[in-house]
Structure 1
Amino acid sequence: MSNLNDSELSLLLRTETENKDYRVLIVANKFYAKLFLALNEEPFNWVELGIGELDEQTRDELRSFVRHKKLFMISTTEQDLSFIKPKNGEEQLVERITILNDWIKISKSITTGRNGEVKAETRFKVACAAAWRCQFEGCGEDLRQHLTPSMSGNYGYFAHIVASSKEGPRGNEQSEALADDPNNIMLLCDKCHRLIDRIAPNEYDAEILRTMLERNIQEVNRLLNCLKMPDVEMVVIGGSIEGQGFRFDSRVAEEAMWLRKIKSTKPTEFFLNSTLYFSASNNSNYWANAFELLKSTDIPKLKSFLRGTGRNGELKPLAIFPLHGTSILILSGRLIGDSSSIHLFQFHRQQTEGKGKQWAWPDNVQEPSPDKFKIQTLKDNSQMCSEAILMINLTAKIPINEIPHRFLDQNGLKLPTIELSIDTCNINAISHPKDLELLGIAIDNVYQQIQDKWRITTVHLFVVAPTTACMRIGQKMQARHQADFIIYERKPSVNGIRGNFEPTIKISSTKVTSLSNNEQLDIY
């Protein structure tokens, strides 16, 4: 039998007794009631009608039974009326409707609460924990319009888990002590308050309501924390690029992070900040200084962030601002890996206005098509070579005749070669967040072709691409079962003549090697 509210119980009573000669019995404790019907024959054979809230509508339906002396009542101290059965001879005739009025008044005083019973500061604390919404599971009604700023007169919305009276729903010996305990009080709308106290108190014991309260507070806190921007580690991989100075405006970078709904509360971390020491990337001093920085501070510090052992052991996503040479960025991506939670920020040199300026995604760029990044096999591995060339041309296209001559013969390319490119190479090749996602997929496909199908052990890598693309290339290099990648960069131009491509570093599954002096660093 389902518990009914006052309206439902009154309707059921009217429907079942209309044009019938019934007597009605009320079995009630101090807060809810159960109705029985019986024909006029004695002894009465009482049959259950309904259980739930007895209030003004049901009372009005019972008036005629009072007038005709056909309404009886049994008072009980049992808190759960679900299985109670009346015994003949216990019933008392209800001679006046005021008897029901008095019972309803007492019921409301027990279940609704009284001003002063719960202090204003306690009510405020409960309402704050509930975010001013009904805490009954699945309800969440906004109660702000019902709660006054002073919290006076709001006691009807505060429901006790253990009743404030021993005679109330879920009342016990601790009732008085728990009456003003915020951990024993729920903020409920009128409908849900009546449900747990006057309609179906038998279905909502203290344990069920405590669990409901705990879950509600946890969920409210979780949802409110969603308003807080996630905290990230702000990492700048920046340095002098072929002698050009490097400057980083942290205020502009913070604006760009804000646009992505993230923030950093800690000082900016700089990796391979080469401004004072480095010059050209194919200069031996460049890599000597870079390796010293990596070995002494940068790799240990980066690993501590990735493993959550740095800065009080907090494992946070990384916000990466890359503005460095190609080889450094590819190596940085390899060190960070593809499984780490990172946000990459592309530098848009020509975007000088708006929040985030150069570090923000341009507003007027459409989402790229899924086939933006094209993979073309320039020379197949028909000879089953162990070496191959990978050319990633995004900002510009490298002419085949400009790669080192040892890779060419009179027929063109000597080694199997794959090119990853776009229809029109330009400096804005990475201008939309989707670009990085699609590029990652394309790089995965290229690496699969080179390593799984061709079984290549050494890849000669030529890259002309935006900074974040270089990071993605490095991220996608697997830590295990990967080929060795030898990265090439151009020497600086002399008298307007572009320099040749020369190898800078070799990245293997466990080490990075400077090809100018054969110095090695562990990177696993």
Structure 2
Amino acid sequence: MSVTNIPDKVKMRLWGVAAGRCQYEGCNEPLWKDTLTQAEFNAAYIAHIVADSPDGPRGDKILSPKLAKDVSNLMLMCDTHHRLIDREDVAGHPVQRLVEMKRRHEARIESVTSMMDNMQSHVLLYGANIGSHTTNVSYEKTTPAMAPLKYPIEKPAIEMSLGNSSFNDHEDLYWNVEKTQLKRQFEDKVKSRLGQGDIKHLSVFALAPQPLLIELGTLITDICPADVYQLHREPSDWVWQDHPDGFEYKIIVPGTRFDKVALNLSLSATIDNDRIYSVLGEDTSVWTLTIQSPNNDFLKSRQQLQMFREEIRKLFDQIKLMHGHENILHVFPAMPVATAVELGRVWMPKADLPFHLYDENRQYGGFSFAFVAGESKVPAR
């Protein structure tokens, strides 16, 4: 039990840096009200990391009197965790563990409270069935990836998934149903707000078959500033990681020029050109964008995604220059979700070749045509 009379100005500083919440790791309980009844009163306890007397929990003959009133040695806590660290499990809560709890909590509060208006972003979530798997893109699992550059301006997020869809991507109606609902929801929930100036920035989290992700990108376009995120496998989260040294994209130019042209995007896996020829015929010029070792978790950093945008923009211009402005570009993607969305965002319908999008499905035995990207017509309700 504390024997020190802590000055009011020190208490106020502690309440400020803790934002009035319990600083025990994983708790974060508001201490100005009862969470059950919502009655408002001071439910906080001020705990000492190094006890204010040498014989107290974590006490020290020299440090205890020195740090007794020092805010760096104080933690705001709920009753449960104050009892835990000082009575129930003193040995399990050494000084360094509590110091790290306090540091992390106060760093998080500082990060959140220092956010300015230009760091606001609307969260857009989109999911569609991939094969027999139902995707779930949740607000709670995605939004931590936005910090510290952006933060959500509102909750809940803008949801554009077709809830409880019974269609799978091997069924004939799947592409028409999913593309139609994607366009309608974008027009209802995003496009009108963009026109009104209500939405100024989007943070995009999506999991869906690649043609639909590309289509989503064509709807967002480059007109609306947006950050597109990638779900990583290791660790399993949406947080951007460090840029890998020596990373680069590689463009493979076709050796023979034909009127028919295809784009092979071998990034998350390698697509053999024979698989494209089996769909379009061997009289096809296949351009390839790839990396040294295609794999499904190569995309780690924001810089890699920006490099993709730059490379694909140059590639569009090269293909149009060689094959003419009136051609069609057949797109065969094996790529991470973020690059698929950015492919659609970079594409300019008035300047670039039309996209015919293909999707690989094992039940079809390979690639099959999905739909034409960016078509403006939506079937009538």
With normalisation by structure 2, the TM-score equals 0.64
Q: Runs of 5+ in structure 2 lacking a partner?
A: 1-112
Q: Are the equivalent residues in 2 in contact too, given 1:379–1:415 (CA < 8 A)? A: no
Question: 2:243 aligned with 1:366, yes or no?
Answer: yes
Shift of 1:452: 2.9
Q: Which residue of structure 2 aligns with residue 168 of structure 1?
A: none
- What is the CA deviation profile of residues 473-518 of structure 1, one whole-angstrom value per residue up to 9, with x for unaligned ones? 111110313222111111234xxxx82210001125xx25xxxxxx
- What is the CA deviation profile of residues 260-298 of structure 1, one whole-angstrom value per residue up to 9, with x for unaligned ones? 343332321112x13522533342221232244245433
- What is the CA deviation profile of residues 338-360 of structure 1, one whole-angstrom value per residue up to 9, with x for unaligned ones? 232101111013314xxxxx111
2:154 to 234, 249, 265: 265
2:358 to 488, 500, 510: 488
Aligned residue type for 2:168: A
Higher relative contact order (CA 8 A, sep 6+): 2
Question: 2:366 aligned with 1:500, yes or no?
Answer: yes
Q: Which residue of structure 2 aligns with residue 137 of structure 1?
A: none
Q: Distance in 2 between matches of 1:263 and 1:300?
A: 20
Identical pairs, percent: 20
* CA 1:421–1:250: 2 relative to 1, 3 Å: same
Q: How many residues get paired?
A: 266
Counterparts in 2 of 1:78-477, with a 5 A limit?
Answer: 227=116, 230-271=119-160, 273-307=161-195, 309=196, 313-352=197-236, 358-362=237-241, 365-369=242-246, 372-381=248-257, 383=258, 385=259, 387-408=260-281, 413-455=282-324, 457-477=327-347
- The SS at the match of 1:390 is strand
Shift of 1:404: 5.0
Q: Are the equivalent residues in 2 in contact too, given 1:491–1:501 (CA < 8 A)? A: yes
Shift of 1:317: 0.3
- What is the CA deviation profile of residues 407-449 of structure 1, one whole-angstrom value per residue up to 9, with x for unaligned ones? 34xxxx4211100000000112211110111000110111001
Shift of 1:330: 0.3
Shift of 1:401: 2.2
* CA 1:282–1:504: 2 relative to 1, 3 Å: farther
- The SS at the match of 1:359 is coil
Greater radius of gyration (CA) = 1
Q: Are the equivalent residues in 2 in contact too, given 1:491–1:500 (CA < 8 A)? A: yes
* CA 1:521–1:422: 2 relative to 1, 3 Å: same
Q: Are the equivalent residues in 2 in contact too, given 1:368–1:432 (CA < 8 A)? A: no
Aligned residue type for 1:349: R
Q: Distance in 2 between matches of 1:458 and 1:266?
A: 41
Shift of 1:454: 2.4
Aligned residue type for 1:372: E
* CA 1:296–1:331: 2 relative to 1, 3 Å: closer
Shift of 1:453: 3.4
Q: Which residue of structure 2 aligns with residue 100 of structure 1?
A: none
Q: Distance in 2 between matches of 1:414 and 1:278?
A: 38
Q: Distance in 2 between matches of 1:277 and 1:477?
A: 29
- What is the CA deviation profile of residues 336-395 of structure 1, one whole-angstrom value per residue up to 9, with x for unaligned ones? 11232101111013314xxxxx11113xx33454x71111113342x5x1x301001101
Question: 2:349 aligned with 1:479, yes or no?
Answer: yes
* CA 1:400–1:289: 2 relative to 1, 3 Å: same
Shift of 1:245: 1.5
- The SS at the match of 1:299 is helix
More off after superposition, 249-258 vs 466-475: 249-258
Q: Distance in 1 between matches of 2:224 and 2:244?
A: 25
Q: Are the equivalent residues in 2 in contact too, given 1:404–1:502 (CA < 8 A)? A: no
Shift of 1:231: 1.6
Q: Distance in 2 between matches of 1:435 and 1:306?
A: 28
Q: Are the equivalent residues in 2 in contact too, given 1:281–1:489 (CA < 8 A)? A: no
Q: Are the equivalent residues in 1 in contact too, given 2:267–2:295 (CA < 8 A)? A: yes
Q: Distance in 1 between matches of 2:153 and 2:206?
A: 17
Aligned residue type for 1:482: D
Aligned residue type for 1:521: V
Aligned residue type for 2:343: I
Q: Distance in 1 between matches of 2:148 and 2:200?
A: 18
Q: Runs of 5+ in structure 1 lacking a partner?
A: 1-223, 353-357, 513-519
Q: Are the equivalent residues in 2 in contact too, given 1:395–1:465 (CA < 8 A)? A: yes
Question: 2:378 aligned with 1:521, yes or no?
Answer: yes
Q: Distance in 1 between matches of 2:119 and 2:279?
A: 50
Q: Are the equivalent residues in 2 in contact too, given 1:462–1:489 (CA < 8 A)? A: yes
